[in-house]
Amino acid sequence: MLGFLLRKGIRVAAAVAGLFLAVLALLEGGGYVKVDWRRMVDDLARFFLTLYEKAVALDAAGLAGQGAPLLALLGGAALGWWLAGRA
């Protein structure tokens, strides 16, 4: 169920982000707002780099100590992700 919700949630989040950027571009084209696109790209790149670094820095020994529960959680998430793609 976790994988299913994650996959559907990512789709919704991507749709909302795309709609937000499209509206922002339309507003800029109409002269209502001024957007510094270079700064937005730099800030997003920094955010995702930080997110990646935090994910890599997770304590692997602590996760390995969980054993079967962690494997079951990841397996269930992968199965849900796969089933969501088929639905």
For the chain, the C-alpha Rg in angstroms (whole number) is: 19
Query: Using an 8 Å Cβ cutoff, are 80 and 2 in contact?
Result: yes
For residue 5 the two structure tokens come to 């919700």
Q: Is the C-alpha dihedral spanning 62, 66, 71, 76 positive or negative?
A: negative
In angstroms, the CA 58 to CA 51 distance is: 11
Cβ burial, residue 34 (10 Å; 0-12/13-18/19+):
exposed
- pLDDT tens digits, one per residue of 10-69: 889 999 999 998 999 999 999 999 989 999 999 999 999 998 888 777 766 666 666 667
Residue 87 has pLDDT above 70, yes or no: no
